[in-house]
Chains A and B, each alone.
Chain A
Amino acid sequence: MPKRLLKGGRVVDPVNGRDGVFDVLIEDGRIARVGRDLAADGALVVEIPAGCVVCPGLIDMHVHLREPGQEHKETVATGTAAAVAGGFTAVACMPNTSPVNDNAGVTGYILQKAAEAHLARVYPIGAVSRGQMGEQLADIAELKQAGCVAVTDDGRPVATALLMRRVLEYAGMFGMPVIEHCEEQTLKGDGVAHEGFHASTLGLRGIPGEAESIMALRDISLARLTGGAVHIAHMSARQTLEAVRDGKARGARVTCEVTPHHFVLTDEMLGAPVPYDTNVKMNPPLREAADRDAMRQGLADGSIDAIATDHAPHHYDEKHVEFDHAPFGITGLETAVSLSFDRLVHPGVITLARLVELLSVNPARILRVPGGSLADHTPADITILAPDRAVTVSARTMRSKARNTPFDGWKLRGAVAATIVGGRTVYVNPEMANLRI
């Protein structure tokens, strides 16, 4: 690959304290140098359009690629195509595939598919327990060796306190965080929506915020007991945020993420504009305005560590059913950047540098994977953003196999211009025709 010089973009690289116009020289798939007015010196010069931002590659630490076993919903290839179109140079994929990623065979299969797709980097996350059954620990050392970066039983919580204690202790031995889908299952019951006025009037069974916070409180206590690191996935309730703040203040090793839909939408969407739209059915459910506002506050004040999409593709047929019968989840990879700009950065809730921390720096730190900075000699995983570009979300043209998004037709400000993985351009926004990267 020829040397390339990205010239004239606004570089936002919080780890290295950079926020200004810098040039980035890419050589042999790595960042050779970042500096002002670098000489071309034989490199191909790429002019970054005015207003665009060059930042370390975004990392989505919570996606469902569905392969193996549910290829009708998504594959590693389509999922990573969606990832790079959404500005993500890496994704961490959840183990609730079929079979479950609880052994090196499945991990290796996913990595092989990722290598074949050759788009975004894929970091598999292994199961906490065999078959995610919540009984026996999975072979975590084997998973680590095969390439897993964390463990979780996502889709369901680690049911017993004892197993949670053990996995915190055991995975801690390998420096792997335990990612927890916090849900007290008896309190959740057969709920399908946030417990409150909207679920009540629509006759939908409710899930209170406490179903999440009670489990987070347990896990944070156990993280303090064991010294292990727990990461709260897709946090939705303000009570959970309080628990995380309190845990952090007391020195527990707890981190957390929030999805774009939980900082953008509320349970009001259950009734309007499309009543009982199954594309607003997700777990945890869309909560009320006070929760959404708390999530924004947590993103602003640093209590929340990461934005992750919980990209959950489902086939059209699976969602084209009664609300009660539809599976939980929506896609997220291709809308996260636009929603974050439109709802967080442009209204002044967070700075651009903070956005880069939430989408790149912190996910890399929590998962202990490369990336999150534009340091010299690190792999050239770079995302180029177009913060002011108007976007109309179109489910039909998405790279993901699935179309289950509640944002179809939304007009947002903020787009992805291009995505570079290991120095190779894997995505250029087709609407930015004059961009040659």
Chain B
Amino acid sequence: MKKDLLGIADLSGEEIYRILDTADAMREIGERPIKKVPTLRGKTIVNLFYEPSTRTRTSFEIAEKRLSADTLNIAVASSSVQKGETLADTAMNLEAMAPDMIVLRHACSGACHLLARICRSRIINAGDGMHEHPTQALLDAFTIRQHKQRLAGLKIAIVGDLLHSRVLRSNVLLLTKLGAEVCVCGPPTLVPPGIERLGVRVSIAVDEAVAGADVIMMLRIQQERMRGAFVPSLREYFHVFGMTAERVKRAKPDVIIMHPGPMNRGVEIASDVADGPYSVILEQVANGVAVRMAVLYLLAGGVEEGSHAEAAA
């Protein structure tokens, strides 16, 4: 592993499998009466969150605690960022207290790269702007593998606001790397230009996109997308792109439905689908802890030769 986990883009297929295999072993710890191992005893991990997040922050924190790390949560309200100290200054101040790892969530794409250039601590990207959310893609892959025993050759449809989604980018990078057949689908106003160069098919027809799919991944559509004229209304969006039981019927009979959360019921996904038999949404959440334990464990070890120099360059 390199010094930091900034994105799926930096991982090889082999490293991804290593994380997933390690997560397999980590899952068992969560089933023990004492859900804790001493592995990261004495290590300090700072969870630096510039965006509100319940799921990801809690998941990281549980993972850290199960590995016996000392954890520290810093939530910076976005509103005070502009006036307050810069990210670089915050990073240097934290660095002075010598944490071993920093888990960063930030609204700006590439914020974790800035941090990684400044800090000796290992940086884990917990979501940077519209760029990447690598641990989400890893837990998604883990969940898919649990159900399908493989990733290569699977037909995966990803539907929703593709443009603003970091989950999309990480998942596309990961799934194509491991040989899945990925179709991304959303209104043309929400398709990132040039995304097909990552080796995915782009569809604007949801019925066609989900046809024969092994996996349907839904992405969240945000209320504010009506400003900027991306979509006319959430009602119309649901009508054209929402995942309904009727649409799910077009997929394979053993399809699984995924959502990174938080869900907007009745906007991108109908409640009966979200709560229905195909949904693995809560399993994703459960698997998040094991996957993050795996990432923390693997990053805590020695770095490969040369990767420090790369980070400093």
Contacts and interface: CB of A to CB of B under 8 A. Distances in A.
Interface string B160-175: 0000001001000000
Contacts of A195: 193
Interface of A: 189, 195-206, 273-276, 317, 320-325
B197 interface: yes
B194 A325 contact: no
A323 B198 contact: no
Given A201-B9, A201-B169, 13 more contacts: A189-B228, A196-B194, A199-B193, A201-B194, A203-B110, A203-B132, A204-B131, A320-B86, A321-B87, A322-B106, A322-B108, A322-B110, A323-B114
A203 B130 CA distance: 4
Interface string B56-97: 000000000000000000000000000000111000000000
B111 interface: yes
B193 A196 contact: yes
Interface string B252-284: 000000000000000000000000000000000
A317 B192 CA distance: 31
Interface of B: 9, 86-88, 106, 108-111, 113-114, 117, 128-132, 166, 169, 192-195, 197-198, 228, 313
A189 B313 CA distance: 32
Nearest to B228: A189
Contact of A275 (B113, B193, B198): B113
Contacts of A201: 9, 169, 192, 194-195, 198
Contacts of A317: 86
Closest 6 CB pairs between A and B?
A276-B110, A197-B194, A203-B130, A203-B131, A200-B192, A322-B108
A197 B199 CA distance: 12
Contact of A322 (B9, B87, B193, B313): B87
Nearest to A204: B109
B194 A276 contact: no
14 contacts: A189-B228, A196-B193, A203-B166, A203-B169, A205-B130, A274-B313, A275-B113, A276-B109, A276-B114, A321-B86, A322-B87, A323-B108, A323-B110, A324-B108
Contacts of A273: 313
Contacts of B114: 276, 321-323
Contacts of A204: 109-110, 130-131
A314 to B, nearest CB: 14
A112 B283 CA distance: 71
A203 B109 contact: yes
Q: Which of A195, A203, A274, A275 has the most CB of B within 10 A?
A: A203
A200 B194 contact: yes
B111 A322 contact: yes
B87 A323 contact: no
A197 B200 CA distance: 13
Contact of B193 (A203, A206, A276, A324): A206
Contacts of A189: 228
A267 to B, nearest CB: 10
